[in-house]
Amino acid sequence: MKQATLYEKLKDNRVKCTACAHYCQIMPGRTGICGVRLNKDGALYLLVYGKAAAVNLDPIEKKPLFHFLPGTAIFSIGTVGCNFGCDFCQNWDLSQASKMVQQKVKDPKEKILQLGKLVEYGQDLPPEKIVEYCEKNSIPSIAYTYNEPVIFFEYIYDTAKLAHKKGIKNVFVSNGYESKEAWQAIHPYLDAINIDLKSFYEKFYQKTCKAHLEPILESIKRAYEMKIWLEVTTLLIPKENDSDEELRSIAEFLAGISKGIPWHVTAFHPEYKMNNKPATPLDSLQRAYQIGKTAGLKYIYTGNVFDLEHQSTYCPKCQQLLIGRDWHAITESNIVNGKCSQCGTKIEGVWD
């Protein structure tokens, strides 16, 4: 556990956490919504500092990032806890664990004890060890992923700063709920981000994710303005967020910022509180693909399904195949110095 940097002290030993757009006001002995930021005697502590609950070496395509160092491995870490409560979460056993303790255990002392035990889950992985491993094994980037990264902000910040000193890049896989204070602090060290835009309707975010839409739209605009490489993902859930109208709204919003933002439309599989829903049919993903094209987006990708044609990158001008993909493997590459090898069109992304 380490004292947090993103918070303000309030009256009566209360604190206001400024890491995410919930801006929780937290009483002594309690955590915020995410369950991992604890008010102890009027100071805010990050319970999961240096405690990685999930650690993997992934292909960067799995994040998904298709226009950022394609074909490389990315060191990926996550902790317990999350600031959202999505009914369809695929990592709910980790993301919702601390919240369950917060809700179920009533006695404040017992609560702190249980939270302490919970965050002991996982391995000790201080920032220095992560960076040392990446340097030794020539891993070019680190992803803060699996749960919402901004809730373990101080752990990320120290790792990301150290990583940059060694020429290693930093990536967020995020629900887009970063506060403006978090953006200000992290942006010099953040190289790429994939933001989930789960819906274009406030009522979906409130009911299904226990959050709000507006901060996410703000984060998408902010990441683009800050020149952090940005890709966006929408998980299509049948009859929940897959109408033509909603998909068109998302695609037009992205195209209004930049037609070069890659948009991943991925398949839902029954999970957590939505395990009675059917999986997303391929037709819906391809319909979203066409809607994205009509809105003017240059790069759209279907995901979590077998659909090689719609998972490859094509030149928006001459239509040459630029990057062929077979799931997470690169089968062909025709981008030279960031340009199409056939017609010389500049292709948006970070290629070296």
Residue from 39, 76, 83, 170 that binds ligand SF4 (CB under 6 A)?
A: 83
Q: What is the DSSP letter of 199?
A: -
Assess 19 for contact with ligand SF4 (CB under 6 A).
yes
* CB-based contact 333:312 (threshold 8 Å): no
3-state helix, strand, coil in the chain (%, to 5): 35, 25, 40
Q: Site map for ligand SF4, 133-152, x if CB under 6 A?
A: ------------------x-
Q: Which is nearer to ligand SF4, 24 or 193 (CB)?
A: 24
Q: Which is nearer to ligand SF4, 36 or 237 (CB)?
A: 36
Position of minimal CB gap to ligand SF4: 32
Q: How many CB atoms sit inside 10 A of residue 90's CB?
A: 14
Residue 344 CA to residue 335 CA, distance in Å, equals 9
Residue 234 CA to residue 154 CA, distance in Å, equals 28
Assess 197 for contact with ligand SF4 (CB under 6 A).
no
Q: Which is nearer to ligand SF4, 211 or 265 (CB)?
A: 211
* CB-based contact 243:251 (threshold 8 Å): no
Helices assigned H by DSSP within 120-243:
127-136, 153-165, 180-186, 202-204, 214-225
Q: Which is nearer to ligand SF4, 70 or 81 (CB)?
A: 81
Q: Which is nearer to ligand SF4, 218 or 348 (CB)?
A: 218
Assess 20 for contact with ligand SF4 (CB under 6 A).
yes
User: If you search the block for the tokens 């996982």, which residue do you land on?
Assistant: 122
Assess 111 for contact with ligand SF4 (CB under 6 A).
no
Q: Which is nearer to ligand SF4, 35 or 316 (CB)?
A: 35
Q: Which is nearer to ligand SF4, 84 or 314 (CB)?
A: 84
* CB-based contact 154:182 (threshold 8 Å): no
Closest Cα to residue 67, out of 352, 345, 339, 351?
351
Assess 127 for contact with ligand SF4 (CB under 6 A).
no
Q: What is the DSSP letter of 341?
A: T
Residue from 15, 30, 33, 174 that binds ligand SF4 (CB under 6 A)?
A: 33
The alpha carbon of 304 is separated from its chain's Cα centroid by a whole number of angstroms, namely: 16
Assess 340 for contact with ligand SF4 (CB under 6 A).
no
Q: Site map for ligand SF4, 271-310, x if CB under 6 A?
A: ----------------------------------------
Q: Which is nearer to ligand SF4, 27 or 308 (CB)?
A: 27
Contacts of ligand SF4 in 205-244 (CB under 6 A): none
CB of 242 to ligand SF4, least distance (A): 28
Assess 60 for contact with ligand SF4 (CB under 6 A).
no
Assess 101 for contact with ligand SF4 (CB under 6 A).
no
CB of 220 to ligand SF4, least distance (A): 18
Closest Cα to residue 177, out of 154, 197, 157, 162?
197
Residue 47 CA to residue 54 CA, distance in Å, equals 16
Q: How many CB atoms sit inside 10 A of residue 227's CB?
A: 9
β pairing state of 141-144 and 169-174: parallel
Assess 24 for contact with ligand SF4 (CB under 6 A).
yes
CB of 308 to ligand SF4, least distance (A): 39
Residue 41 burial (10 A CB sphere; 0-12, 13-18, 19+): exposed
Assess 22 for contact with ligand SF4 (CB under 6 A).
yes
Closest Cα to residue 152, out of 304, 66, 50, 40?
50
Q: Please indicate if the annotation marks 86 as binding a ligand.
A: yes
Assess 34 for contact with ligand SF4 (CB under 6 A).
yes
Residue 37 CA to residue 246 CA, distance in Å, equals 35
Residue ranges of the binding site for [4Fe-4S] cluster? 82, 86, 89
Judged by the rule CB under 6 A, the positions of this chain that interact with ligand SF4 are: 17, 19-20, 22-24, 32-34, 37, 83, 151
